[in-house]
Amino acid sequence: MMERSSGTLPGWQRAYLRPSARRARAEENSPQRRPPATRSSVWTKKMLPATFKLCAAISYRHLRNMTGLRRQAAVTISQELSKFACHSTGPSTWINQVRRRSSLLSSRLEEKPFSEMEMSYVKQGEEALQKSLSILGDQDGWKTETVVDNGDKVLSKVLPDVGKVFRLEVVVDQPLDAVYSELVDNMEQMGDWNPNVKEVKILQKIGKDTVITHEKAAATPGNIVGPRDFVSVRCSKRRGSTCVLAGMSTKYGAMPEQEGFIRAENGPTCMILRPLPGSPSQTKLTWLLSIDLKGWLPKTIINQVLSQTQVDFANHLRDRLARTVALNC
């Protein structure tokens, strides 16, 4: 008769097994007798995928608001995975994926969480960026407004849901980083070098890419267009060698309409900066301008003022950058 293991023997027969035999059978079935690779394989197959899915399932919104014990948990996961990777013979791909995800969690948790209002401003900035790129991406229907001897040109186009938009295309004899720094990092100094701008003030910064600004435009010569001001949400994105600065008008409770100024609206508007092909020391700048000056102004005057404003901006920007370079020499 074939011998049955103690796990399948009736209770009365197991009771009569000699102690040494019981110990031998127990040792055979003990987890400690299994090869280490088997235990590691089981853990790897069951636990690593589950851990990875748990980390990957955390949404962006929840991620931004994780604090306290949850933050410590993210750090602990990373530490434990590092220990396991040193001793495990299982697949390192899973471990590296989870470790990278855990590291991302830890870095994200260090950022200040956004409120719902802040998130709405971020979305407005993204909206302005996407809409602006869509407008510039459509090459049909553009008409020439102005062409300058140095190659600067302004084009225009009428859009059903936006109105008339203007497009400036110029080349600046300075590298992209210098132009970006002047327009983004030093935006509050624009009133120092652009006569068409009286003041730019940052009202609030939201993360690294989004700001709320208040801009005061200077009156035009002869006061043809009186003082205007704007409250805008702006976002800046840098992807490789291309920079996009986008914005649109918004509402900001701490900056109501100002006495002596007509609250105008702009957007979607954006500037695209990229190195000139074959000449990295020069920057190609494209500026999409969409603006509603409000008030009772003839369209012919508005169109003339806006196209000239863009041409003037390019010249003032060149002068500013040239002076900055001279001071740094």
pLDDT of residue 327: 85
Question: In terms of Cα–Cα distance, which of 179, 128, 155 is closest to 285?
Answer: 179
Longest dimension (CA), the chain: 116
The count of residues in the chain is 329
Measured CA angle at 315 (ends 313, 320), to 5 deg: 90
Peptide bond into 113 cis (omega under 30): no
Angle at 295 between CA 159 and CA 299, to 5 degrees: 45
- Please report the pLDDT score of residue 226 as a whole number: 81
What residues form DSSP beta bridges with 243? 238, 273
Residue entry with tokens 């806006």: 306
DSSP 58: -
Q: Among candidates 159, 105, 109, which has minimal Cα distance to 136? A: 159
* Torsion sign (Cα): 73, 76, 78, 84: negative
Q: Is 300 exposed, middle or buried (0-12, 13-18, 19+ CB in 10 A)?
A: exposed
Q: Which residues partner with 197 through β-bridges?
A: 217
| Cα(271)–Cα(183) distance, integer angstroms | 10
Segments in the chain forming alpha helices (H): 11-15, 19-28, 36-56, 60-64, 69-87, 92-109, 116-137, 176-180, 190-193, 299-328
CA distance 293 to 275: 32
Cβ distance 79 to 103 under 8 Å?
A: no
* Confidence (pLDDT) at 267: 82
Residues 6+ away with beta carbon under 8 Å from 299: 164
Q: How far is CA 303 from the centre of its chain?
A: 33
Q: Tell the burial category of 129 from Cβ atoms under 10 Å away from its Cβ (0-12, 13-18, 19+).
A: buried
- What confidence score (pLDDT) does residue 76 get? 54
| Residue 131 near residue 268 (C-beta atoms within 8 A) | yes
DSSP 2-22: PPPPTTTS-HHHHHTS-HHHH
Nearest-10 Cα torsion for 302, 304, 309, 314? 150
Pairing of strands 269-276, 210-217: unpaired
Q: What is the mean pLDDT of each run of 10 residues along the chain (329 residues)?
A: 45 43 52 51 51 48 46 52 50 47 46 87 96 95 95 96 95 96 96 95 96 92 80 94 97 94 93 96 97 85 89 97 88
Note the pLDDT of residue 222.
65
pTM of the model: 0.67
- pLDDT value of residue 46: 53
Alpha-carbon span 170 to 156, nearest angstrom = 15
pLDDT at residue 14, as a whole number: 45
- Measure the CA–CA gap between 317 and 133, rounded to whole angstroms: 23
Amino acid (one-letter) located at 285 = L
Helix or strand or coil: residue 274?
strand
Count other C-beta atoms under 10 Å from residue 271's C-beta. 22
